[in-house]
């Protein structure tokens, strides 16, 4: 269950990875609550768990309370909890993806239940399987048809690097990131459903912390990613 | 018919054919020149009635190629494997796509992956490989991957 946190696009530009920036955010919150308001007067909304907490703090007042937050954080929080995956599977990883979607693993617990059969309504594409040379233009077109902001998860060895087809093949693309940029990679052949869930939650954390490739690109339009 | 009965029957019809046994199915080796006649007999002889070609493939032995046909009769439920040895430098064999329709696509696949030329095939062009693929046959043993090649 090993998920690479940072796409090469981020790390090469010197951006902090998701984990690091998450920690930073958490530390900042703590400092603010201690120094500015005092622990008894404010509390993060929605519990203490990082994945579930609503961004911002409640400042208790005699008449009820005031929520202080950043609009960007609220938008990211909303987006991360309603990711619509595209129905896209090219080989055995798709079987594991179907298993993750079905009752036993049930990814709708984390906000992924609305799998879409059209890229125009999808937010995230899970590349579940081998990408061959003939499929590469189709994958590119699907990605281009998705509306911004859009995210990509490379599931399994084939989508990450070509996997078992890395050497001596005539047809396989050696990693889907030769075709479209990837936010989260999953190891495994195929990965277990838990690994896919881990990757999806990692993507949610990246979106909440504003460190996906798409979000960085929108913040710095002068840089061509 | 059992394998033994098949062998007796086929020996009567084709004295030149040789047999290999030991597997689940009976193997018949046929010279490529005799294949078309042999195939018609297998298909239309009322005792044999092999009306279902369930696999057509090829093997590269580095010294020569072997085309392999798996045939079954849906009437008698007997199965036969026919092999034909081809020259690797100029592999040619008669098409059977007019006898078994399914051979059409199978032969196109063997054509693009192994370079076997099926004579009199109605539409012998690339099936799965991208358009413009030329020269190299991916499933031959001497194929080299242009991107990542390792040799053992």
CA distance B20 to chain A (A): 33
> Is A4 contained in some domain?
no
**Three-state DSSP state, A121:** helix
> Is A11 contained in some domain?
no
> Is A49 contained in some domain?
no
Binary contact (A174, B147; C-beta < 8 A) = yes
Contacts of B128 in chain A (CB under 8 A): 134
Contact indicator for A135, A141 with CB cutoff of 8 Å: no
Chain B contact present for A171, CB below 8 A:
yes
pLDDT of B13 reads: 86
pLDDT of A61 reads: 87
Binary contact (B130, A133; C-beta < 8 A) = yes
Q: Which comes out higher in pLDDT, residue A56 or A93? A: A93
Q: What is the mean pLDDT of residues B115-122?
A: 91
Q: How confident is the model at residue A96 (pLDDT cuts 50, 70, 90)?
A: very high
Fill in the DSSP letter of residue B151: -
> Is A16 contained in some domain?
no
What percentage of chain B has pLDDT greater than the value 70?
100
Residues paired with residue B70 on neighbouring β-strands, in sequence order: B55, B81
pLDDT of A199 reads: 93
Chain A contact present for B143, CB below 8 A:
yes
Compare all CA atoms of chain B with the CA of A162 and give the residue at the minimum distance: B148
Q: What is the mean pLDDT of residues A200-205?
A: 91
Spatial separation of the C-alpha atoms in residues B147 and A115, rounded to whole Å: 35
Contact indicator for A156, A131 with CB cutoff of 8 Å: no
Distance between start and end Cα atoms, chain B:
45
A97-119 confidence digits (pLDDT tens): 999 999 999 988 888 888 889 99
Mention every residue, 6+ apart, whose C-beta is less than 8 A from residue A26: A50
Q: What is the mean pLDDT of residues B53-74?
A: 94
Half-sphere exposure of A157 (CA within 13 A, CB side): 8
Kindly tell me if the per-residue pLDDT of A30 is higher than 70. Answer: no
Q: What is the mean pLDDT of residues A58-74?
A: 86
Kindly tell me if the per-residue pLDDT of A197 is higher than 60. Answer: yes
Q: What is the longest distance spanned by two Cα atoms in chain A?
A: 72
pLDDT of A2 reads: 47
pLDDT of A14 reads: 40
The structure tokens listed for B137 are 């046959």
Q: What is the mean pLDDT of residues B55-71?
A: 94
Residue with tokens 């196109």: B108
Kindly tell me if the per-residue pLDDT of A25 is higher than 70. Answer: no
CA distance A171 to chain B (A): 8
Mean pLDDT of all residues belonging to chain A: 78
> Is A36 contained in some domain?
no
Strands (E), B11-147: 18-20, 26-30, 52-60, 64-72, 79-87, 92-94, 117-119
Question: Cis omega before residue B143 (within 30°)?
Answer: no
Fill in the DSSP letter of residue B130: P
> Is A75 contained in some domain?
no
Q: Which comes out higher in pLDDT, residue A51 or B74? A: B74
Q: Which of A134, A167, A171 shows the shortest C-beta gap to B148?
A: A167
Q: What is the mean pLDDT of residues B14-26?
A: 84
Domain of residue A138, residue span: 85-217
Closest of B61, B125, B58 to residue B93, by C-alpha:
B58
Residues paired with residue B56 on neighbouring β-strands, in sequence order: B69
Q: How many C-beta atoms surround the C-beta of residue A125 within 10 A?
A: 23
pLDDT of A167 reads: 87
**CATH classification of the domain holding A133:** 3.40.50.12280
Binary contact (B149, A167; C-beta < 8 A) = yes
CA distance A125 to chain B (A): 25
Kindly tell me if the per-residue pLDDT of A218 is higher than 90. Answer: no
pLDDT of A182 reads: 93
Closest of A207, A211, A139 to residue A178, by C-alpha:
A139
Q: Going from the N-terminus, what domains does chain B have, and what CATH number goes with each? A: 3-88 (3.30.460.80)
Q: Which of A135, A165, A170, A178 to mutate to test the interface with B (most CBs of B within 10 A)?
A: A170
A52-63 confidence digits (pLDDT tens): 577 888 888 888
Q: Which comes out higher in pLDDT, residue A175 or A225? A: A175
Chain B contact present for A168, CB below 8 A:
yes
Q: How many CB pairs under 8 A join A and B?
A: 22
- The total number of structural domains that make up chain A: 1
pLDDT of B19 reads: 87
pLDDT of A221 reads: 65
CA distance B128 to chain A (A): 9
User: Which residues of B, range 29-68, sit inside 8 Å of A by Cβ?
Assistant: none
């Amino acid at each position: 269950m090993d998920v690479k946190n940072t796409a090469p696009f981020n790390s090469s530009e010197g951006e902090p990875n998701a984990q690091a920036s998450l920690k930073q955010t958490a530390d900042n919150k703590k400092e603010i609550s201690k120094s500015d308001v005092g622990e008894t007067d404010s509390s993060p909304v929605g519990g203490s768990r990082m994945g579930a907490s609503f961004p911002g703090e409640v400042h208790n007042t005699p008449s009820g309370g005031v929520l202080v937050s950043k609009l960007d954080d609220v938008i990211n929080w909303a987006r991360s909890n309603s990711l619509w995956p595209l129905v896209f599977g090219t080989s055995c990883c798709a079987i594991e993806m179907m298993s993750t979607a079905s009752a036993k693993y049930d990814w709708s617990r984390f906000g992924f239940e609305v799998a879409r059969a059209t890229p125009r309504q999808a937010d995230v594409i899970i590349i579940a399987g081998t990408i061959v040379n003939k499929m590469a233009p189709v994958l590119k077109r699907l990605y281009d048809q998705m509306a911004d902001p859009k995210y990509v998860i490379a599931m399994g060895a084939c989508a990450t690097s070509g996997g078992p087809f890395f050497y001596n093949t005539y047809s396989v693309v050696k990693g889907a990131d030769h075709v479209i940029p990837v936010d989260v990679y999953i190891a495994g052949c195929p990965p277990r459903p838990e690994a896919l869930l881990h990757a999806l939650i990692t993507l949610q954390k990246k979106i909440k912390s504003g460190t996906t490739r798409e979000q960085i690109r929108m913040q710095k339009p002068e840089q061509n990613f | 018919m059992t394998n033994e009965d098949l062998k007796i029957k086929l020996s009567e019809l084709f004295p030149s054919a040789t047999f290999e046994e030991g597997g689940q199915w009976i193997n018949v080796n046929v010279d490529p020149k005799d294949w078309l006649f042999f195939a018609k007999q297998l298909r239309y002889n009322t005792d044999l009635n092999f009306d279902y070609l369930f696999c057509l493939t090829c093997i590269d032995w580095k010294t020569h190629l072997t085309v392999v046909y798996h045939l079954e009769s849906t009437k008698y439920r007997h199965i036969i494997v026919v092999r034909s040895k081809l020259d690797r430098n100029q592999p040619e064999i008669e098409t059977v796509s007019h006898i078994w329709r399914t051979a059409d696509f199978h032969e196109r696949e063997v054509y693009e992956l192994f370079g076997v030329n099926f004579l009199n095939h109605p539409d012998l062009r690339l099936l799965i490989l991208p358009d413009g693929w030329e020269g190299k046959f991916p499933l031959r043993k001497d194929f080299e991957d242009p991107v990542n090649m390792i040799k053992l």
